[in-house]
Structure formats: structure tokens, C-alpha cells
């Protein structure tokens, strides 16, 4: 999956759906995720303006994980071989 504004919107929608499925209010989700209620409100309405780090905190707080595979720089995307680079293993 390419990470861009549209995928952040998709991620935010999935987080909203998960929060509602778990029956959590914004206040409850904020408390378990270590983010503010206003952040959750902003993430649900305009995730492109939100910190990816905080979106990941919210994901973890809801018991979800986000997996990214591969890494591609702008230069790689414009090159003829268009190969992606793997992030080093921790």
C-alpha cells in the first residue's frame, strides 16, 4: 500500500469504525491511546492534517497494528527500474 493522504483517510475511517465497533467514546479511546480527544476528533474529520505517530498510537490503543512493507524514495519512484528498498530489520 502506498502511504499518502488518501490512505491516511482510509486508515482514519478504519480507526473510526473500530472505535465504534468496540463501543468506545472518543474520551475512552483517547484515554487508552494516550492521545487527546481533540486529536481523535481531528483524525476522524481530516486525517491528512494529523501526525502519523499519533494515528499509530490510536491504532495501538484500539488493539490494532499497522504494517508497512518496503520503502521507496521519490527518486526511486522516478527511476526506470522502480525498485523498492526494504527497511532494515530491527
Q: Residue range 55-78: average pLDDT? A: 79
Percent of the chain scoring above 90 in pLDDT = 40
Contact 22, 64 (CB under 8 A): no
Contact 12, 64 (CB under 8 A): no
pLDDT tens digit sequence for 17-38: 999 999 999 999 999 999 999 9
34: its cell numbers: 494516550
Contact 56, 85 (CB under 8 A): no
33: its cell numbers: 491511546
Q: How far is CA 19 from the centre of its chain?
A: 14
The dotted CATH code for 5-61 is: 1.10.260.40
Separation CA 28–CA 34 (nearest Å):
10
pTM over 0.75, yes/no: no
Amino acid at each position: 500500500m502506498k502511504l499518502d493522504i488518501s490512505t491516511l483517510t482510509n486508515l482514519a475511517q478504519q480507526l473510526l469504525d473500530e472505535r465504534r465497533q468496540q463501543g468506545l467514546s472518543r474520551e475512552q479511546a483517547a484515554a487508552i491511546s494516550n492521545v487527546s480527544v481533540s486529536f481523535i476528533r481531528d483524525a476522524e474529520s481530516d486525517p491528512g492534517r494529523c501526525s502519523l505517530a499519533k494515528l499509530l498510537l490510536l491504532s495501538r490503543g484500539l488493539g490494532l497494528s499497522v504494517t508497512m512493507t518496503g520503502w521507496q524514495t521519490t527518486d526511486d519512484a522516478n527511476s526506470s527500474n522502480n525498485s523498492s528498498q526494504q527497511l532494515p530489520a530491527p
